Structure formats: C-alpha cells, structure tokens
Chains A and B, each alone.
Chain A
Amino acid sequence: MTTATQPAPGGTEQQGLVERHRQLPRFALAGLFAVGAVVGVLASVLTGFNLVLAVIYAVVLGTLSVYVASRSVEGSRKAVDRLVTCVVTTAFAVAMVPLVSLIWTVLGRGLRRLDGEFFNSSMLGVVGEGGGAYHAILGTLIITGLTALISVPIGLLTAIYIVEYGTGRLKKAITFLVDVMTGIPSIVAGLFAFALFAIFFGPGVRLGIMGATALSVLMIPVVVRSSEEVLKLVPNELREAAYALGVPKWRTIVKVVIPTAIAGLATAVTLAIARVIGETAPLLITVGIINGTNLDPIDGRMATLPVFAYYQLTQPGFPPEFAIDRAWTAALILIILVMALNVVARLISRFFAPKTGR
C-alpha cells in the first residue's frame, strides 16, 4: 500500500518519511460495486427480468465501476490490480455454483428415501415402492475390501521397492509404468478384467472377484504413487542412524521407515479406497447387477452401490419415481461414504503423525 517508487497520477501528500498515495477506502470500493450492481439489476428488470442475466449485469457493472473509480483516483496499476481481484473472485464464485448445486441436488433428492428400509432390504421381488440397497451396500463393501486386500500389499511393496531397493533400469521402467497405469481409463480396466476372466470362464462370466481385479488395476498405481511420496519424506538420516547401529536393511525398513511414515501411508491407502469405492464403469461390465443378496465374490453377479444407482436411474421400470428416488439415495450414500473416508484420512494424518515436540 505504501510505496515510494512512483509518484501517483492522482497526486501525493507527504506524511512523515513515506509518500502516501491517495487511496480508496474499503467501504468506498464495496459501495461502488454495490452501486454498479444495483444499476445492473435495474437494467435487467427494465429489459424483462431474468435471474441469470441480472446477476451477470450486476457483476459486470459493479466491476466496471470499481475499475473506473480506482483508475481515476489510484492510477492504472492499482486499477488493474482491483480489476483482476474482481475477475478472480467472480470466476471463483462461478466455479462454486455447479459444485454447490451438485451437493444441493443430491441432498434434496437423496434424503427422501434415507430410511431404515433402504438399509435393510434388498430389491428381491420389489416392484414399485419400497426396496433398498442392503445387497448393494454389502456388495460394494465386499468388493472394495477385496480390492484393498489385493492392492495394498502390492502397492506398498512396489513403493518400498522404488524408494528403498530400486536401482537402474528396472526402477525407471516400473516408475514409468506406474505413471502409465494411473492414466488407464476405468472402463478399460473393466475390459481388461473381462478379457482376462473370459479366457478361463467363457465370455458370459460375471463375478465379484472380476470387479475387484478391475478396481485393483485402478487402485494399485494410486497406492504406489502416494505411498512413494510418503516414504520419500522419511529423512535419510533415520535410515543411516539405524544402519550405523548395525540394523539390517529390511529391519530398518520395517521398524524405522514404516513406523515413521505410518500416518501418511494410512492416509494414502484410505484416499485410494475413497477413489475406487465410487467406480461404476468397470463394475458394470464385470460384476453386473442382481436384485437379491449375493455375498460370494466367486459365484456369479453381485450388486454394488454405484451400479445399483445407475440402473435404478436409467432403467426405473414403471412407475419410475420410486426407482429414481432409490437411485438418488444410493448416490447420496456414495457421497457420504467418500466424504467419511476423506475425513478418516484427515484424522489419521492428524493424530498418528510422529510427534515432533520442537
């Protein structure tokens, strides 16, 4: 705010050692913006009221009046700064609109069926009203659990390989391929699992474990990437301290490196689970959907929450409104699951981080 480099075009007044530019007070800026905005709203009312247009006019005119006023009082550099502030803030607000609308819509429509029945009944024999996602929630938990069971050991060991053991060309190749794997579209992962199992069981096969395989292809690289970052954060000095005590390398990793990084690793795994728990496309083509409860991942189709939501929305049957309500509630539960996992990850990293009492 105080500069002594350039005399402002608006004139300066001497105050002690520091030259002070003439400056608009905060309330004046807010007031100017409000005046512009009111003019904008009036303009839109005169031309036939429309909420979207009114907001656009208001913001544009408000910004303009701030810019013009600032330019005439504070000079062009300051005016550009104010203009950019308005633009950035507006853009932020614009970007928030769809995101808020999304939460609002899902909450509004999903709450209707968020009742006990939804959690303890399946869709077996349900036509029209009632029914629930008991089978789909359990299916999602089972398949996600299996996925984690496959992905976490492989992912962690690979990260340990890259950080602690890897050298030369193999390390480079693996790092590169993990990068490539992060970019595999989820539907392609589904096709892979399908092609793999079709070779052994024929083309019509649908199994829970197929879904877990497909999701693992998506989850492993996420686990590797993030746990690699976490392991790299463990200071080398700690490894050296352990080596200098005559501790073999593998014990150093198990007893020093991993305990030091455990909070970060747990966070990484939790976020990776959150990332795959809502995956729909691969499950659609590998696990399919059923109405009853099947909890055996190596025996036929299973229901999962995202696929359940998808089919309830797109193939609601007649009358459609009941299925559509179920679909929104399933979507809401999915969001709640993802949020819960994120919160858990936060808590883990906050409470289990090594205490540095400095």
Chain B
Amino acid sequence: MTTTSAPPEPPRPKRRVGDRIFAGSATGAGILILVVLAGVAAFLVSEAWPAVTAPAGDIPGGDGLTAYIAPLIFGTLLAAVIALVVATPLAVAIALYITYYAPRRLAAGMGYVIDLLAAIPSVVYGFWGIAALAPAMVPFYVWAEEHLSFIPLFAGPASATGRTMLTAGLMLGVMILPIISAISREVFSQAPALHREAALALGATRWEMIKMAVLPYGKSGVIGGAMLGLGRALGETLAIAIVLSASGGITFNLISNSNPSTIAANIALKFPESTGLDVNTLIASGLALFVITLAVNMLARWVVNRRADFSGAN
C-alpha cells in the first residue's frame, strides 16, 4: 500500500499471513463474479449458436430465427411499456403521498407495506392477475370494443376471458409499482431540508414547495427507478405466462385474445417440453432478452449517475 507507480519504488513491506489469506479470498470472490458473468454470456452464446447457424426451415415456425424472435421482442417491449406508463405516475403519487401528505404516524407503516409488496413472488401476482384482474377487465373490454374500436389499440374482438395484452401490462404495472415507488420515496425523502424550508419560508404552498425543491431533486431518482422497474418488467416470466393468452403475431390490438407472447414467458412455457434445436432456439431468445435488459439497466445507471453530479446532494 505504500507504493504507487512512483519511480524510486521502495521495497514492499512484508504482509502478515492472515492479511494475505483474507485479502486473497476477498479478491478471489470478486474475481469469481467476473468469471460467473463471463460464464453466463459464454454458455448462453455457445448453447444459442446452433440455432443461429441452423437453416431457417429447422427453426420452430419455419421462417428462421429472426422471424421467430421478432414478435416475442415486440410482445416483451409492448407489455413492459404499458406497465411503465401505468406505474410511473402512480408510483410518484404514492411516494409523494407517503413522504409529504400522509399523517406522520401512518407514513412509516405505509412505506413498510410498500416494501413488503415489492417482495411478493411474481408467480403470486400471476395468480391474482388471472383470478381477479382479468375478469374485472372484461366489461371494460366489451365497452371499449363498442365505443373505441376506431382506435387501433381497441380494435377488438374483445376477449371474453380478459387474458389480453392490456391485462398483462396492467398486472406488470402493479408488480413494478412498489419498486418504482420505493426508490422515488427514498429520493423524495432525501430532498435537502434546507431547500424545502427555504421554499416554505418564502410563503410557498405545499405543492409549490414540492415543485420547487423536491421534484427537481428527485427527478433522476424517479427516472432510475422507472428504468429498474422496466428491467424487471422485461424479464418477468411466470406472471405473464399465466395471464397472457398468446398466439404469436405482431399486433397493437390490446384487448383481444390473440397476442404476441413475451420472450421470458415463451421460454417458461415451451422449455420443459423442448428438445434438440428447439432448446437452442429458446436459449437464443433468452440471449436477446439478456442483451435488452442489459442495455436498459446500463442506461438506468448512466442516467442516475449522470444526474447524481447535479443533484445538489453534496
């Protein structure tokens, strides 16, 4: 530790055996993570490779890998975007309510409940989606088909079971709601008290104080939280597999029974019965999902870190 790259290198001091062992194992664990991640990428690529090189006719569907994966990617993105659009404003409202509106004594308990909801296993959300949410949405779908069918999103025919893309997206929204609001709540509550008090001292109302001192400070945190939620929604598997009635094909029709599946749900549904090249194809689609979530997560980190410099936290 005494030395850096400075030219007249003094001899390294001897290190104790205990120190060497401990430092070695800690470093080893860190390096293991590098190896694992490299392994994830390497194994996925090696198992996906046969599907990439296979002739188009051998891939399920018979039109090649791109034609197989494209609708899945579309479905994944569509469901995740619906979830994000629904969840973000609500999550911000929850966070604001808990931090600045709720009675003090209730606020801590509410925050705790939200944290608990973030921990509920996704398969349980799937159960709720098909048992409670889907039937509850059916009347709306019928009404939407009657009155809104001029909008392509509501072209119909309306699903009688409610297992539509919109239901799946809403359910994903409910799932990521606790995640986004937990992060937003944290940044909102960290908004500097000095700024908040300064705003109030100038005679601002509560909303003006939030607009002046809290939202600008918390914006990057909200964006980061939304991106993390998006990452979670993209990778969500079984809840979608349970709720969505999928038949392939790219469509923006949100209320019908024929929807594109998502990558993760498709893998979960097909994998247990697949063999041979089908497995390779599924792994190739998994690789695509890996790349997409990776990109989203990196973007999220970048946004959060970039804004961190300007957040006034220091």
Which A positions have Cβ atoms within 8 angstroms of B?
3-6, 77-78, 80-81, 84-85, 87-89, 91-92, 94-95, 98-99, 101-102, 105-106, 109, 153-155, 157-158, 160-162, 164-166, 170-171, 173-174, 177-189, 191-192, 194-196, 198-199, 203-204, 217, 220-221, 224, 248-251, 253-254, 271, 274-275, 277-281, 284-285, 288, 306, 309-310, 313-314, 327-328, 331, 334-335, 338-339, 341-342, 346
Known: A98-B128, A102-B128, A185-B237. 6 other contacts (CB 8 A): A85-B206, A174-B34, A188-B235, A191-B286, A196-B39, A331-B121
- Cβ-neighbour of A334 out of B112, B124, B203, B283 (below 8 A): B124
- Is chain A's binding surface mostly helix, strand, loop or mixed? helix
Interface size on B, residues (CB 8 A): 89
Q: Determine whether B154 belongs to the interface, using a CB cutoff of 8 Å to chain A.
A: no
- Is chain B's binding surface mostly helix, strand, loop or mixed? helix
Which B positions have Cβ atoms within 8 angstroms of A?
16, 18-19, 21-23, 25-34, 36-37, 39-40, 43-44, 46-47, 89-91, 93-94, 96-98, 101-102, 112, 115-117, 119-128, 130-133, 174, 177-178, 181, 202-203, 205-208, 210, 231, 234-238, 241-242, 264, 267-268, 271-272, 275, 279, 282-283, 286, 289-290, 293-294, 296-298, 301
Residue of B nearest to A253 (CB): B22
Top 7 closest pairs, chain A to chain B, by CB: A278-B121, A185-B235, A91-B93, A183-B297, A157-B29, A250-B22, A281-B237
- Cβ-neighbour of B97 out of A80, A91, A160 (below 8 A): A91
- Cβ-neighbour of A196 out of B28, B43, B128 (below 8 A): B43
**What chain A residues lie within 8 Å of B19 (beta carbons)?**
248-250
Q: How far is the CA of A77 from the CA of B286 in the complex (A)?
A: 52
Residue of A nearest to B239 (CB): A280
Q: How far is the CA of A162 from the CA of B23 in the complex (A)?
A: 11
- Cβ-neighbour of A180 out of B37, B89, B91 (below 8 A): B37
In the complex, the number of residue pairs spanning A and B with C-beta atoms less than 8 Å apart equals 267
Are B97 and A92 touching (Cβ within 8 A)? yes
**What chain A residues lie within 8 Å of B301 (beta carbons)?**
179
Shortest CB distance B132–A (Å): 5
Q: How far is the CA of A44 from the CA of B43 in the complex (A)?
A: 60
Residue of B nearest to A91 (CB): B93
| With known contacts A89-B101, A95-B177, A185-B289, A160–B124 Cβ distance under 8 A | no
10 A-B residue pairings within 8 Å (CB atoms): A80-B207, A155-B29, A174-B34, A185-B235, A187-B237, A191-B286, A192-B43, A281-B237, A313-B127, A331-B121
**What chain A residues lie within 8 Å of B289 (beta carbons)?**
185, 187-188
Are B290 and A178 touching (Cβ within 8 A)? no
Q: How far is the CA of A250 from the CA of B255 in the complex (A)?
A: 61
